[in-house]
Amino acid sequence: MKKKTAMIVSLAVGTLMFTTTAFAEVVSKSGYDQAKEAMKYSADNYTSKLSSYTVDVSFALKDNGTVISSQNSVNKYDLKKLSCENTTTTVEGKEKNEGFYYRDKAGYISYNNKDGIYHVTEQKINDDKFWINNPFKQKEAGDLEKIADAFIGNLKDSVVASDNSDGSKEFSGSLNEAQIPTLANAIVSYQLKRQFGFYSNNQNNPNNQDNKSLMPKITQDIFVKDLKGKMTVDKNGLVQNILGTGVLYGKDDAGKEHSLTFEVLAKAYDVNKTVINKPDLNGKKVEKTVIEDNTKISNPELYIGTYKNNIFIKKDGKFKKIGERVVSIDKITEKNISGSYSEEYLKGYEDYAAKAKSFKFNAVFDKNIYNANFTYTNSEGKNIKGNIGMNYGFPRLYFDFDNARSGVSADGNAIFDGEFDKVID
């Protein structure tokens, strides 16, 4: 979806949230409780209890009866296999875009008709949790519910709750412009001006030079004209569909009137019957990316070997190499990394060599496999702490001591840093 379309949808959905909150959250006291419990029960089931389901969401935005933006999205979810599939068609004016997204524990596949490429991401991470969160279990849910209750006030009476013969329930209602709170209109007007007032019709928008927006530049007399909503809960207590419509009225700079009508319909079906199959990409144009598991070490033998960096001094206005620091990695496990460290100096620098360090280490990984700490005893019998950092994916590591002073050795003359490159034949 283009950025402008996303903004349009954001505005409409934001307005619709006001509507659905009024319709589904605050009916009469008994209806209010029933609707709220149905929504909480459904959210819990759709995110953790059901085995599979499909949700079809359609959106349309019209300006004076002409469709300027629409989107349809079919979303399939399998909670047992931790997989999902999303097919989206977006139309903005005469421009039509199609997208596809697939996800399972092994990775992701995405596609859009613009580049015609299936982008495949393989992940070696243990992703064993469903990635859709229950909004009613978020930390801020309780506070938002209280704010919505206080904001809506007497609009509770605008909703009608009814029981159907098949055991389902229906909540519906409508609000006209006289019933819309002044604060709600002020918020909608502010958001409309902020998001579209300066950038609509491709004016003064440096990021939208190629695609002229169909969204009118409404800047005057903006208010919500009417809102309608309906929510159906099936006999099992699950929200089955939600329908919302609304009209925003306003004028552009030339005084032309605009009625922006938005319609949103969401339907859930094939509960516990939805089947998702991984797409066959044979013969397709594919680009692949691999995400390594950052909690495990793959191919540890790849990093076993010798690593070196230079020891140098500044002399006669030049850098002069006087030796090397050597780290040898002998073994790597998920718990520790072991090996040896030594310093080797060139002939003529025996004074430095007399102070050279040489020891074996067994470093223990702390919270991850990238950083390990060790302690060794020097020639004076003191315990010195050190650190080794692995740069997996590259023949490089970091190795140094806690008492190192900005890469300067103990005598304050020889210079080195903590980065070591692997010796590659």
What are the tens digits of pLDDT across the range 326-345?
999 999 998 999 999 999 99
* CA 310/CA 349 separation, integer angstroms: 14
CA 71 to centroid of chain Cα atoms: 21
Helix axes 3-25, 182-192, angle to 10 degrees: 170
Distances (CA, A) of 305 to 326, 342, 392, 420, 424: 10, 14, 14, 12, 9
User: What is the chain's mean pLDDT, rounded?
Assistant: 82
**Residue 48: its H or E element:** none
Q: Which residue has the tokens 């002998």?
A: 330
CA 182 to centroid of chain Cα atoms: 35
Helix axes 141-152, 3-25, angle to 10 degrees: 70
Is the pTM higher than 0.85? The answer reads no
- Check residue 89 and give its pLDDT: 96
Report which residue type is found at 156: K
Q: CB under 8 Å to 47, separation ≥6 — which residues?
A: 130, 132, 133, 134
Residue with the larger pLDDT of the pair 149 and 21: 149
Instruction: Answer whether residue 310 shows pLDDT above 70.
Output: yes
* CA 118/CA 126 separation, integer angstroms: 23
Phi, psi of 82, deg, nearest 5: 55, 55
- Check residue 296 and give its pLDDT: 74
- Check residue 308 and give its pLDDT: 95
Three-state DSSP state, 403: coil
Instruction: Answer whether residue 6 shows pLDDT above 60.
Output: no
- Check residue 135 and give its pLDDT: 85
- Check residue 138 and give its pLDDT: 84
